[in-house]
Amino acid sequence: MHNPGLQARHLDAQYVRLHVHPEEFAAAVHACREAGMVGINCTIPHKRAALEIADTVDPHARRFGVVNTLVFREGRIFGHNTDGPGLQRALEEEFGAPLASHRVLILGAGGGAGRAAAIQCAQAGCARLTLVNRTRDKIERLAAELADEYPADRVILQDVPDPGETDLIINATSVGMNPGDPLLLPPGVLETRHCVYDMIYSPPETPLLAAARAAGARAANGLSMLLHQGTAAFELWFGPPAPVDAMRRGLLESLPSS
């Protein structure tokens, strides 16, 4: 998606992929900066190392505890995280309402993606936040962490998901990526009023999304989150606005099904 974006903005630059081992990460980042690169994206297993290597870390990224975007400017390294903002942009685009207006249920809130989603929902001021995880102590720690910025009486902890008082359901687990994965929700609990967002985008239709559509609920996969993580990074490097339409076309054209 980035190279079509660069072309749309008439920028003489190219986005390339580098395979870097963890022990090489620091040297690779400094080599990229010294080579005149504008910045980099980094993914697992480098996100925590990126936090440590940055000279300045955005408060939002510091709150998340990981960095996925580095910006090289004036000889310094600036660390950012576009995961949460990318998710919020995606949700608001897909479902046409501010995140703050939703009562949100997060499946797998104890994992890294779920934690990021919970923090973003809390910072957006969502109407209610329900955290679901197989390991309860993880969501208990997360709820305590959120207490400084989000009302404790609006956080609900569940071992078994019950979307009865929920508008928006987010799957932050990997369940649904493989054939034979178990169902995330009991049959029959989804209703037409629900919005269901699955962070998984491969396969594009998970059992959760299929169940949502069968119930008449609105549903979307995680491709829009991937897009908006990228557009947020693009704007950090080159300034807003990102050429979203060009980047979306590039992303869709790169998919095996296209």
Q: Kindly report the CATH number assigned to the domain that includes residue 135.
A: 3.40.50.720
- Quickly state the pLDDT bin for 44 (edges 50, 70, 90): confident
Alpha carbon distance 80, 51 (integer Å)? 8
* Residue 138 falls in the annotated catalytic set: no
Domain closes at, from 50, 81, 112: 81
At 129 the pLDDT is: 98
User: pLDDT, tens digit, for every residue of 84-143?
Assistant: 999 999 999 999 999 999 999 999 999 889 999 999 999 999 999 999 999 999 999 999
Amino acid (one-letter) located at 218: R
Alpha carbon distance 202, 66 (integer Å)? 24
Q: How many domains does the chain have?
A: 2
Q: What is the reported pTM?
A: 0.92
- Quickly state the pLDDT bin for 36 (edges 50, 70, 90): very high
Tokens of 139: 């969501």
In 3D space, the residue among 236, 226, 105 whose CA is nearest the CA of residue 170 turns out to be 105
Considering the domain boundaries, does residue 253 fall inside one?
A: no
> By residue range, what is the domain housing residue 20?
2-81
Alpha carbon distance 29, 47 (integer Å)? 12
Considering the domain boundaries, does residue 176 fall inside one?
A: yes
Considering the domain boundaries, does residue 211 fall inside one?
A: yes
Stretch 59-71: mean pLDDT = 93
Same domain, 154 and 102: yes
Catalytic residue among 2, 47, 128, 248: 47
**258 pLDDT more than 70:** no
Considering the domain boundaries, does residue 199 fall inside one?
A: yes
Same domain, 51 and 72: yes
What is the per-residue DSSP string for 190-216? --TT-EEEES--SSSS-HHHHHHHHTT
**257 pLDDT more than 70:** no
Tokens of 141: 């720690």
Same domain, 35 and 130: no
